[in-house]
Amino acid sequence: MSELTNPTGTISSYQLMRWARQARTALMASYLQSVAIYLATSLGDCARYFGKLARRAAHELYLQNATRTLQQFDDRILTDIGLRRAEIEHAVRNGRSAMQKTVPNRQRSQQRHAACPRAKPLGRIDVRGPRQICHEYSGSPTEAGLP
């Protein structure tokens, strides 16, 4: 058996000091390893956070520049683009497709139903084509005057 685990034998002071030094060194190595792992993960988290923050700031500057550019246009050019001055910020941040989904377009709906005389106007944008709408209301697309 080992001299350290032998209860009947005496341990010399040199062996005791050596055993304590080894235990202390192992404990300090374990502490240093856990601190190094903690610091590495913390620094990685900080780097990711500041990277994300920098990307957000750059994107915000890009959006502000686009909004400022559109604000400089006169109302006639904005109308040609399909925007009103009050919609610029929303269009820049959310895109024009988001505006088209939320704002009803009665004029397009009325044009779509003008080709199909027996169809009832829905008063909103319909994702189906005019052929499908006329077929739904009249029974067949040829009866509604569509090829």
The pLDDT tens digits of the residues spanning 4-54 come to 555 557 888 899 999 999 999 999 999 999 999 999 999 999 999 999 999
Checking if the pLDDT of 127 tops 50, the result is no
Output the pLDDT for position 6.
Answer: 55
Which amino acid does the sequence have at 56? R
Checking if the pLDDT of 121 tops 70, the result is no
Checking if the pLDDT of 98 tops 90, the result is no
pTM of the model: 0.46
pLDDT mean over 86-111: 71
The pLDDT confidence band at residue 117, using thresholds 50, 70 and 90, is low
The residue to which tokens 């235990």 are assigned = 23
Output the pLDDT for position 96.
Answer: 76
CA proximity to 126, closest of 99, 146, 100: 100
Checking if the pLDDT of 133 tops 50, the result is no
Do residues 137 and 116 make contact, with C-beta atoms less than 8 angstroms apart? yes
Do residues 138 and 116 make contact, with C-beta atoms less than 8 angstroms apart? yes
The residue to which tokens 């202390």 are assigned = 24
